[in-house]
Amino acid sequence: MTTSRRLLLVNGPNLNLLGTREPEIYGRETLADVERLVTETATARGFEVRAVQSNHEGVLIDAIHAARADCAGIVINPGGLTHTSVVLRDALSGVALPVAEVHISNVYEREAFRHHSFVADVAAVHVIGEGVPGYARATALLLDVITGQSDL
């Protein structure tokens, strides 16, 4: 069990458009709503959250690397990088922190190219297709892993 009481929330490319981008798939809630939900969930368990969103893979990787110093775990929606980025997967693996992978839509019911996740094998928690509320469940499950309240 780590002594850090902070989570890193990572949102990948295009998630800054939540609320306006394809609302029939992603809903009307915004990135600010996501960040607020994760922060409320974490705060209720005595954790704080540092949030990062970028459309640039290197920015996300730098944030993940920095998390080694002061975070207990990572909640991540890599967006399209889920299906393309070996280096993002390697960054998550390399920091050796527990990871929760979350996706708003059910990627396994969408186009075939979305069915593979490079992040899946390094994540302890997977919450797929539960909309924005899935972030709260992913955060709670990750906190269970971090605090030893789960066998995941």
Is 16 annotated to bind ligand? no
Is 77 annotated to bind ligand? yes
Is residue 65 annotated as part of the catalytic site, yes or no?
Answer: no
Is 25 annotated to bind ligand? no
CA distance 125 to 138: 7
CA distance 25 to 7: 27
Of 56, 65, 103, 135, the active-site residue reads 103
For residues 84-101, b (16+ Cβ closer than 10 Å) or e, as one string? ebeebbebbeebebbbbb
Is 146 annotated to bind ligand? no
Closest CA to 7 of 97, 89, 79, 103: 97
Of 26, 56, 108, 115, the active-site residue reads 26
Is residue 115 annotated as part of the catalytic site, yes or no?
Answer: no
Is 64 annotated to bind ligand? no
Residues marked as binding? 77, 83, 90, 104-105, 114
Active-site amino acid positions: 26, 103
User: Which residue ranges are tagged as binding site for substrate?
Assistant: 77, 83, 90, 104-105, 114
